[in-house]
């Protein structure tokens, strides 16, 4: 029986200046993609069809001949090619974060009317967001890098575009603490703060949800078992439907007060549950990262934030 050859991946990367486009392109280059940043849009089709390797192409408002509608049309044409697997990635971030990144690096926003600080940068950000809005609407993947460190941004891109990645739904399960805010990339959020808190036990406080003593404490809560049955039942219903609709990437966020005990336990248990059901999943413990890695690796230092700011 004849089998169709694998389609050649083509990834167009766009987004707001300072939001991480260059970092995404570098990650794709490390994955083996031939990478071209800001080619003239008039040669886009020729550039794609003359190659044979996976290709990542950076496109933004600086591109010669830029017109968002033309880019959307080009993406749709590539998606219609039987031998090409085309997708569009859009990088974004909150205005306050972009302002800070431009201020730290003293770079001029490409659409600012002049200078590099204050309201002129804000005006440039607003102009660019309006200009690129059709691309965001057409994107297959929108990544908000406002509070995403570089290692996590790489993980998101690698999880979706690594060579040999299987078709289907990839699930990321993230534990977090509410004081540091909701994960921006979350599709589904579950709040564990109704369960008994191990933090108030001086023996359990220095431990995490990975420790058996904490697990036993949380699971002994009389409301844990009925909640677990309902949550897993809901996800067992939703995940096949998401996959059937063509969704490729899903982030499930599990939160508690500190992000170290209840949410960690539930995230670990949920990953095991999904694995038994045949789902691919990856676990991230957001609030444990500063303990497990140096601050720079977690993207928490000025240098880490500057690295994202350079990725315009």
Q: What is the pLDDT of residue 58?
A: 92
Q: Cα-Cα-Cα-Cα dihedral of 132, 138, 139, 143, to 10°?
A: 50
CB 269 within 8 A of CB 214: no
Say how far residue 95 (Cα) sits from the centre of its chain: 18
- Does 189 lie in the same domain as 128? no
We report the CATH number of the domain holding residue 120 as 3.40.50.300
Q: Is 1 a member of any domain?
A: no
Distance CA 222, CA 241 (A): 31
Q: How many separate domains does the chain show?
A: 2
Structure confidence by residue, pLDDT tens digits, 98-142: 888 877 766 777 766 654 444 577 888 888 889 999 999 999 888
* Percent over 90 (pLDDT), the chain: 40
Answer whether residue 201 shows pLDDT above 80: yes
Query: Is residue 137, in this structure, part of any structural domain at all?
Result: yes
Q: Is residue 102 part of a domain?
A: yes
Name the DSSP class of 1: -
Residues 135 and 178 in one domain: no
- For residues 125 and 34, membership in a common domain is answered with yes
Buried b (16+ CB within 10 A) or exposed e, 142-180: ebbbbbbbbebbbbbbebbbeeeeeeebbbbbbbbbeee
Assess whether 25 and 141 both reside in one domain. Answer: yes
In a domain, 154, yes or no: no
pLDDT at 297 (0 to 100): 34
Q: From start to end of 117-212, where are the E strands?
A: 141-144, 170-177, 188-191
* This model's pTM is above 0.85: no
Are 182 and 81 in the same domain?
no
Q: Are 82 and 177 in the same domain?
A: no
Q: Are residues 213 and 239 in the same domain?
A: yes
- 144 and 176, same domain (yes or no): no
**Structural domain containing residue 249:** 170-292
Q: Nearest 5°: phi and psi at 122?
A: -60, -40
Q: How far apart are CA 68 and CA 242, in angstroms?
A: 29
Q: What contacts 104, CB < 8 A, 6 or more positions away?
A: 302, 305, 306, 309
DSSP letters of 76-87?
HHHHT-TTEEEE
């Amino acid at each position: 029986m004849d089998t169709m050859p694998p389609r050649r991946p083509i990834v167009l990367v766009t987004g707001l200046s300072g939001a991480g486009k260059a970092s995404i392109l570098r990650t794709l280059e490390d994955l083996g993609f031939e990478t071209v940043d800001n080619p003239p849009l008039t040669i886009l089709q020729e550039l794609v069809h003359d190659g044979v390797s996976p290709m990542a192409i950076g496109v933004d408002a600086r591109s010669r001949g830029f017109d968002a509608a033309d880019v959307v049309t080009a993406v749709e044409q590539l998606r219609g090619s039987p031998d090409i697997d085309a997708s569009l990635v859009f990088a974004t971030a909150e205005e306050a974060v972009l302002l800070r990144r431009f201020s730290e690096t003293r770079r001029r926003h490409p659409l600012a009317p002049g200078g590099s600080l204050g309201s002129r940068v804000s005006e440039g950000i607003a102009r660019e967001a309006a200009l690129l809005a059709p691309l965001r609407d057409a994107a297959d993947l929108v990544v908000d890098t406002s509070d995403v460190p570089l290692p996590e941004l790489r993980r998101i891109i690698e999880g979706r575009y690594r060579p040999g990645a299987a078709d289907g739904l990839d699930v990321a399960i993230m534990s977090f603490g509410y004081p540091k805010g909701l994960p921006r990339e979350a599709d589904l959020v579950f709040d564990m703060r109704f369960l008994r808190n191990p933090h108030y036990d001086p023996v359990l406080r220095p431990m995490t949800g990975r420790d058996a003593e904490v697990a036993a404490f949380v699971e002994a809560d009389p409301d844990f078992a009925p909640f677990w049955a309902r949550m897993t039942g809901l996800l067992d219903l939703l995940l096949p439907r998401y996959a059937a609709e063509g969704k490729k990437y899903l982030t499930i966020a599990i939160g508690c007060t500190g992000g170290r005990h209840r949410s960690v336990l539930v995230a670990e248990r949920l990953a095991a549950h999904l694995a038994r059901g045949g789902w691919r999943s990856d676990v991230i413990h957001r609030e444990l990262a500063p303990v497990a890695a140096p601050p720079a690796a977690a993207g928490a230092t000025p240098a880490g934030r500057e690295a994202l700011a350079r990725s315009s």
